[in-house]
Structure 1
């Protein structure tokens, strides 16, 4: 029998001494199952190179609960340990068995899937256990060993009569952690952290129906048998080569990841790189709504098939955190932290790689089947537009596939849009003016006016489009965007000759004087324009610059620029070729006021500006008019 004190290096403070090395106590199971997986994969590697002269077989890891005895057992059939190795890898916490193993076999073990960091990971057991036992038998022809520790630096190490190869960890669960003796809790943790571990994990048994005998009669009752309940998929889709997978395989894996998600993803991107870092994974583009927050925390980060976190910001580019799927990289530690992510060079490389890979995939989808890409545009645009704003490298590539749809259902890339509009939508300064609607229903009348003038109108209705427009204008000389209900439309050079006003210059001056005497000049600037006689008599537009400043103020930028609450300022454009303009000009003073107020209120309604007392007065006035 051996007794002694565990050798703890000062540099390696572990949970035995400092309980909060890990922020979440539940990961003890992840660590111990990871160690069992390590031991199994190490044995697989050693047998494959002929160093271990034993039969590898079909090993599994078993997790058992003994609620009455308040114990949890984690049992593997891996390479086990000798008493000497227990001394080295368990008592001398400064060593890491997996790291030493990888160093020794660094050339041949590169792809053996060793998870690593055995020493500290093992001591996470003491976060939930008041005493821990290790019963282990090495694949080498040496006696088994039994190690016991009660959570202090004191341990005992004795021989054991175990004859089967492998290791059994026994946790004597502490009184403050009895929740971990519930089957539902352990099952939940195994599913969360170990769902895709590369070694089968058994947790209890399940009933499986036996096949019905051919000679069984109608009164045959189905017979059931207990079989091992394997809770994980050791060979998930992302560990395979893309050439070995079909569309249905990707769809099946998506359902495995998200069993409660009934809507199929739009497409997937398979990540597979081994230089200058290791990374595999599959990302899925789901259908997204306009709420950027809804879909976050759906990408799962793994390290050699061990779940790490679903908070992948910093590893995955910010604009892609709304996607779903899996990323697996051995270059990211299990105990990942925010400060680590910010400091680690590999993480930034991984993020840049994912950005490039996603952009390349989108470009190929666009080139291979543009019609299909256009049909999916509304479901993916929010992610791509956000990417253009937040990731310069993505923005550089986005011109090849980002689309700008019109209200009529046509789609242009930015280069195509410039070419299509260069002869028809320029202002007097030679700027190309791109008209767009942000709400097709609310701005319907303005869209009609623009289309009557022969202009194209885009439909840009995502919540971040105003920010994207500013970026596009900054990066494209002589390109201006103007919302269709803004005043910029009046500054375009018309395709055809402008309409000739039915009113003389003197009559136009009289009409403007009448209007300015009735319309509030603190809010509205009266403008006369000769338009088609069928166009609306009164139209309200807003100066484009003022509208943008107001949007910035409302979105939180007001304080930054010292704008505060900006005043309401609009243009009232009056069509001098409308019958109403002539009627107002010829009417008595009292009638003029009634007509102007009624027409102004109708124009306000089209812009959603008529509210409160003004709306009540308008309704009363309207009923009086139709009596």
Structure 2
């Protein structure tokens, strides 16, 4: 027979209770029983029935359902029968002990549930943590070469853990308990970085156990309907799909939220507008921010590990979650020219002093390249700290923050970032030659540059490139191309020169030789090569590419050959 039988050794039902509880749609026997209990007894009961529809849902996959029950303290069992269409019958029956058997005669639509593996998967997914053990008993055939020797055996296995670790007091749990549960929950072989266990009591009661992984999850950047947080109601799994319990930038967080105050028959739409769910979401997010802020204060090593893993997601939150912006600004970290490791915006402000009203930053793909950028020379010389952003999102992050406690953000790659540096570094004896070099470089480089000017930033390097404040920097352009999958027009750079540098002086010398020689081809070539190499070098220092990459190599090789 194609049947599934659900048996328990509970208190059972008598004739009248079978008729009342199963013969009346939308009447919950569980709810009626709970109403007779005191408040503290209800909380400890672990009973979940409420609306009286759960039993009738079985008819979606059944031709007939039989319920055999013997009530505790009585000696007469009864069987309730119905096809779900023509009413029901109740007759005397025989049962060996107290309790109830629900026998489902499965129809064609429900045949998938006759598979032991399908039932086990459903039980583990939805009922793994309910308080009572669930045994799956089935008849399994053993296979042999000779079909006549094949046997059928009874397999009886407990398929649920029958415990909800998150509901136990923290004082009863060890680190190993938390770590083992994390691994069973997520399938992750590595230990979590940290966990946050909360049991909220009061108007709304819920338990939560959140984990932060010790590595970046493989699916962090893969769009999915699943989230890292599983929602339970009274230990029964409800969903991990589509419902956004935490903001998207916390999608790396794994864990469980379980509440007795939510209805079991919830839908995604209901939860989105459910007052209890909204309160739980807000409290959970507040707790998560608080724990991370405390971690930053008490365990800098572990917090720095968190930042190295999930700093981009914190920056993502700064750009998308205005309501929690202040909390996110406390957590976000950047590299800096003033200190080793990570630094916060608050620490930058403290080091800058009350008189400085600007936070300077520079973005790019590589920290080592940023630290070696010629743009930083004068800032370092004057003791002005510059934040370094190597995450792809940093260009948007700095512009998205805009202002932090009265300090404005400014990209040192933009032309107006030099205002605080004072006058040009060109000494009087070099300024005349510098102006000549400007005219020469404008003539040679032509449309490749927007302008050539004397630099306030350079001390050791001959050249650097900057951009007008209203034009996108290379890092911003690359980010926009990735986000839109469309080409973004390149901004023409402004070439700044160090008038006192020997290579800049040589530009003037070569131009003079060209004039005296009547335009000697070798001198003209050397002048052009040097001008382009200085330009290319400045572009390379900021991580820019060239339309014709080999042109730089060809010109550099000619100059090296000339000098040898």
Bin the TM-score by the shorter chain: 0.7 to 0.9
Residue 387 of structure 1: how far off its partner (Å):
4.1
Normalised to the residue count of structure 2, the TM-score between the two structures is 0.83
1:326 aligns with 2:249: no
Give the structure 2 partner of residue 215 of structure 1.
none
CA 534–522 in structure 1, closer or farther in 2 if over 3 Å, else same: closer
* Distance across 1 between alignment mates of 2:49 and 2:125: 19
Alignment partner, residue 512 of structure 1: 438
Which among 200, 203, 225 is matched to residue 276 of structure 1? 203
Q: Is 1:314–1:347's contact at 8 Å kept on the other side of the alignment?
A: no
Q: Does 1:347 align with 2:277?
A: yes
Q: Which residue of 1 aligns with 2:352?
A: 421
Separation (CA, whole Å) in 1 of partners of 2:168 and 2:50: 26
Change (3 A) 1:411 1:604: closer
Sort the Cα spacing of 1:389 and 1:608 in 2 relative to 1 into closer, same or farther, 3 A: closer
Given that 1:434 and 1:457 are in contact with CA atoms closer than 8 Å, whether structure 2 keeps it comes out as yes
Q: How far does the alpha carbon of each residue in 1:397-427 deviate from its partner, in whole angstroms, 9 at most, with x for none?
A: 445554444265343332221011237xx7x
**Equivalent of 2:81 in 148, 156, 160:** 148
Name the counterpart of 2:551: 617
1:580 pairs with 2:513: no
1:310 positional shift: 1.1
1:480 and 1:130 map into 2 onto residues whose CA distance is 70
Pair 309,317 (structure 1): closer, same or farther in 2 beyond 3 Å: same
Instruction: Report how many residues are paired.
Output: 526
Q: Deviations over 1:103-149 (max 9, x none)?
A: 33252313322212362111221232222221122224263221222
1:279, CA displacement in angstroms?
Answer: 1.0
Displacement, 1:153?
4.2
The change in CA–CA distance for 1:353 and 1:611 in structure 2 (over 3 A counts) is same
CA distance in 1, matches of 2:470, 2:170: 50
Distance 2:456 2:273 in 1: 63
| 1:447-458 pair list within 5 angstroms | 449=377, 450-451=379-380, 454-458=383-387
Determine if contact 1:523/1:568 at 8 Å carries over to the other structure.
no
Shift in alpha-carbon separation, 1:76–1:322, aligned structure 2, 3 A: same
Q: Identify which of 279, 295, 299 aligns with 1:369.
A: 299
Q: Equivalent residue for 1:593?
A: 528
2:5 maps to which of 66, 73, 76: 73
Change (3 A) 1:608 1:533: closer
Contact 1:205–1:226 at 8 Å: present in 2 too? Answer: yes
Give SS of 1:455's match. coil
How far is the alpha carbon of 1:280 from its aligned partner? 0.5
Check 1:460–1:105 CA distance in 2 against 1; reply closer, same or farther (3 A cut): farther
1:127 and 2:60 are equivalent in the alignment? yes
Q: Which runs of 5+ in 1 are unaligned?
A: 1-68, 207-224
**How far off is 1:594 after superposition?**
2.2
Q: Distance in 1 between matches of 2:340 and 2:274?
A: 45
Aligned-partner Cα distance in 1 for 2:76–2:508: 111
Residue 304 (structure 1) aligns with = 234
Q: How does 1:411-490 map to 2 (within 5 A)?
A: 411-422=342-353, 431-439=357-365, 440-446=367-373, 449=377, 450-451=379-380, 454-474=383-403, 476-482=405-411, 484-490=412-418
1:146-180 per-position Cα deviation (integer Å, ceiling 9, x unaligned): 12222424322222111411111122222233222
* Alpha carbons of structure 1 residues 438 and 601: separation in structure 2 relative to 1, 3 Å: closer
- The 8 Å contact of residues 552 and 558 in structure 1, kept in 2 or not, is answered as no
Separation of aligned partners in 1, 2:530 and 2:236: 74
Inter-partner Cα distance in structure 2 for 1:191 and 1:317: 27
Structure 2 unaligned residues grouped into runs of 5+:
140-152, 515-523
Does the 8 Å CA contact 1:318/1:390 hold for their aligned counterparts?
A: no
The change in CA–CA distance for 1:504 and 1:607 in structure 2 (over 3 A counts) is closer
Q: Distance in 1 between matches of 2:396 and 2:251?
A: 20
- Measure, in 2, the Cα distance between the counterparts of 1:522 and 1:533: 24
2:136 to 193, 203, 206: 203
Distance 2:244 2:323 in 1: 16
Mapped partners of 1:363, 1:406: distance in 2 = 21
What TM-score results when the alignment is normalised by the length of structure 1? 0.75
Contact kept, 8 Å, 1:437 with 1:457, in 2: the verdict is no
The answer as to whether partners of 2:62 and 2:106 remain within 8 angstroms in 1 is yes
Aligned partner of residue 189 in structure 2, secondary structure: coil
Output the CA distance in 1 between the equivalents of 2:478 and 2:38: 58
What corresponds to 2:146 in structure 1?
A: none
Q: Which residue in 2 is equivalent to 1:232?
A: 160
Change (3 A) 1:138 1:317: farther
Partner of 1:176: 109
CA shift, 1:252, in A, is: 1.4
| Partner residue, 2:541 | 606
Q: How far off its partner does 1:453 sit?
A: 5.0
**Structure 1: how far apart are the matches of 2:457 and 2:250?**
47
Contact map agreement 1:432 1:479 (CA 8 A) in 2: yes
Inter-CA distance 289–249: structure 2 relative to 1 (3 Å threshold): closer
Shift in Å, 1:502: 6.6
Counterpart check, 1:547 vs 2:477: no
Q: Any conservation in 1 of the 2:454–2:496 contact (CA below 8 Å)?
A: yes
State the superposition RMSD in angstroms: 3.3
Match of 2:312 among 356, 368, 382: 382
C-alpha distance after superposition, 1:263-290 (max 9, x if no partner)? 2111001121122212102100113549
Q: Which whole-Å CA distance do the structure 1 matches of 2:320 and 2:457 have between them?
A: 42
Q: Which moved more, 1:197-206 or 1:574-583?
A: 197-206
- How far 1:492 sits from its partner (Å)? 2.8
CA distance in 2 between partners of 1:609 and 1:411 (Å): 26
Distance 2:494 2:346 in 1: 32
Of stretches 329-338 and 458-467 in structure 1, the one that deviates more from structure 2 is 458-467
How far, CA to CA, are the matches of 1:152 and 1:85 in structure 2?
A: 21
| Structure-1 residue corresponding to 2:19 | 87
Distance in 1 of aligned mates of 2:254 and 2:450:
49
Counterpart CA distance in 1 for 2:27 and 2:347 is 62
